[in-house]
Amino acid sequence: MSLDKKTIDELAEEILRAEAARALAPSISHRYPGFTVDDAYRVQMRLMERKIESGERVVGKKAGLTSKVMQTRVGTKEPDFGFITDRMIVPEGETIDLSELGQPSFDGAEIAFLMKDDLQGPGVNVAAALKATAGVLPAIEITSIRVERTRGFNLKDSIADNGSAGRFVLGGKTTPVEGIDLRLVGMTLEVNGALAGTAAGAAALGNPAQVVAWLANKLAELGTRLYAGEIVMTGTLIGGLEPHPGDVFKVTFDRLGSVTAVMAK
């Protein structure tokens, strides 16, 4: 049975209080055994409404669990998503204060899409996603967990927690998608000047544009869409690293340029 509106509102407020206190709210899924994915997205939507009421502006969406390896690890067959507000964006060159976040993680090196047109599901495919795209740019995500995971990862808790959205750094170069096979775009990750890993765009659902298509179709189920001007984060190609004060993460993509995120000391 779905949770009632009062409970949904209370859970959203719990997460907001946890965020403000840099603490963890108790696991929702363990307190409410009947908690569903639909309930989780209802909590997330209420969380978004409350942030808008407090003066934040939604500037994009983020997809997570777009890697088959990650999906297998946590036991899901599709990605999840969250929303991005203007207060989550950190200009490149400014530092990220990890003390402002719950349990932070570098999660991680991503290809971000800038939407040229609205994109409304259902029935959106890769071609439609690319047609609606103004360009792509390199991006870094530092996640922030606000719902406890002492018993391990839980997809529904993650969705309610806005996909653990924390801070996002966007590269300064937007590249048109025409003529680029995003599946084959390679990237490297350096941490404090040392090579930490390599990957390619195909790690995100086989094609980062497929993530955008999936997201547009999923949002349609919730009565909304991707909007022109929004940024869409398509999921980490390399991630799962613990950031420390003073760390410098640099991601370099073939043809798309680079982006650097610096943790405050």
For residue 48, what pLDDT is reported? 97
For residue 122, what pLDDT is reported? 97
Q: 10-60, pLDDT tens digit by residue?
A: 999 999 999 999 999 999 999 998 999 999 999 999 999 999 999 999 999
Which pLDDT band, with edges at 50, 70 and 90, does 77 fall under?
A: confident
Residue pair 85/58 in contact by the 8 Å Cβ criterion: yes
For residue 251, what pLDDT is reported? 98
Q: What is the mean pLDDT of residues 189-218?
A: 97
Distance CA 153, CA 126 (A): 30
DSSP for 68-86, please give it: HHHHHHHT-SS-EEEEEEG
Question: In the predicted model, what is the mean pLDDT of the chain?
Answer: 95
Per the model's pLDDT, the better-predicted residue between 217 and 73 turns out to be 217
Query: What percentage of the chain has pLDDT greater than the value 70?
Result: 100
Which pLDDT band, with edges at 50, 70 and 90, does 150 fall under?
A: confident
Query: What percentage of the chain has pLDDT greater than the value 90?
Result: 90
Nearest Cα residue to 110 out of 84, 76, 131, 136? 136
Q: Is 217 helix (H, G, I), strand (E, B) or coil?
A: helix
Q: Which positions ≥6 away from 234 have C-beta within 8 Å? A: 63, 66, 110, 111, 112, 113, 204, 205, 208, 211, 212
Architecture of domain 57-263: Alpha-Beta Complex (3.90)
Distance CA 259, CA 246 (A): 16
Residue pair 213/128 in contact by the 8 Å Cβ criterion: yes
What residues form DSSP beta bridges with 85?
A: 58
